[in-house]
């Protein structure tokens, strides 16, 4: 059941979350009836959420066929990664100017969980990936920019099926996350931005 935010806004957020969590596959058809039943809302409310997601390029409304999870070409995915690199870099730049010790301690706690997940045999992929996601979300939050948050969320919805965080060598990515946290701790905006951009660039190069 969806809680009021407004209802249409909350439906949009819930549907976005489902897409981010891979509840649907690229090219998969989704219907107003299915989502309305799943979330306990009216088809009219779902239709408004669909309209917003179509405008954002997350869904595709094909005449006489229905609404589908939009697919992207390899070239489009690379372009989105280029844009994501820039905006994620800005999120780190802004965060470096805003973070306090409580924020840093939270990032450190996530990093420690990632280290623990990496040390397990077998490697705890689910825990590592969850902490990876939470670390990036925290940095976006610490940036204090609603616009940056909205843009990155939109990018993530588009490239989620191509997310390579889970298939890159975690022994490499954990070093990159260590460097990002250290850059934020330094309070140097240029260093923080550069370090984050390098992290995203390496993810793109792995595609």
Residue 2 forms part of a structural domain: no
Say yes or no: 98 and 47 in one domain: no
Residue 1 forms part of a structural domain: no
Domain with residue 35: its CATH number is 1.10.10.10
Q: Out of 46, 69, 92, pick the residue that ends a domain.
A: 69
What is the band of 134 on the pLDDT scale with cuts at 50, 70, 90?
very high
CA distances from 143 to 48, 90, 120, 148 (A): 30, 8, 32, 8
Q: Out of 18, 36, 69, pick the residue that ends a domain.
A: 69
How far apart are alpha carbons 103 and 117 in whole angstroms?
22
Say yes or no: 81 and 45 in one domain: no
Say yes or no: 17 and 85 in one domain: no
Query: 103 and 164 in contact (C-beta within 8 Å)?
Result: no
- DSSP H/E element including 177: helix 170-186
Mean pLDDT, to the nearest integer, of 106-124? 96
The dihedrals phi and psi of 65, each to the nearest 5 degrees, come to -120, -40
pLDDT digit string (tens) for 41-91? 999 999 999 999 999 888 999 999 999 999 888 898 899 999 999 999 999
Provide DSSP, 87-126: HHHHHHHHHHHH--HHHHHHHHHHHHHHHHHHHSSS--HH
- DSSP H/E element including 180: helix 170-186
Say yes or no: 173 and 108 in one domain: yes
Residues 6+ apart with CB under 8 A from 58: 16, 19, 69, 70, 154, 157, 158
Residue 4's pLDDT is 47
DSSP three-state, residue 6: coil
Mean pLDDT, to the nearest integer, of 109-138? 94
Structure-block tokens of residue 94: 């802004």
Say yes or no: 113 and 51 in one domain: no
Q: Look at residue 167 and tell me whether its pLDDT is greater than 80.
A: no
Say yes or no: 79 and 146 in one domain: yes
Say yes or no: 57 and 80 in one domain: no
Q: Look at residue 129 and tell me whether its pLDDT is greater than 80.
A: yes
Say yes or no: 82 and 166 in one domain: yes
């Amino acid at each position: 059941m969806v809680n009021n935010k407004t209802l249409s806004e909350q439906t949009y957020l819930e549907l976005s979350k489902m897409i981010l969590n891979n509840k649907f596959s690229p090219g998969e058809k989704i219907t107003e009836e299915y989502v309305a039943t799943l979330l306990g809302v009216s088809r009219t409310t779902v239709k408004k959420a669909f309209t917003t997601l179509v405008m954002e390029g997350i869904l595709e409304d094909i005449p006489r066929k229905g609404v589908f999870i939009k697919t992207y070409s390899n070239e489009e995915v690379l372009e989105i990664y280029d844009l994501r690199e820039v905006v994620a870099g800005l999120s780190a730049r802004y965060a470096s100017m805003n973070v306090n010790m409580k924020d840093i301690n939270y990032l450190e706690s996530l990093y420690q969980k990632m280290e623990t997940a990496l040390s397990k045999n077998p490697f705890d992929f689910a825990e590592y990936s969850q902490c990876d996601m939470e670390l990036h979300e925290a940095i976006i939050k610490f940036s204090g920019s609603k616009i940056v948050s909205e843009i990155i969320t939109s990018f993530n919805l588009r490239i989620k099926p191509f997310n390579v965080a889970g298939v890159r060598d975690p022994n490499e990515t954990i070093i990159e996350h260590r460097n990002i946290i250290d850059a934020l701790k330094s309070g140097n905006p240029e260093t923080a931005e550069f370090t984050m951009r390098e992290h995203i660039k390496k993810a793109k190069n792995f595609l």
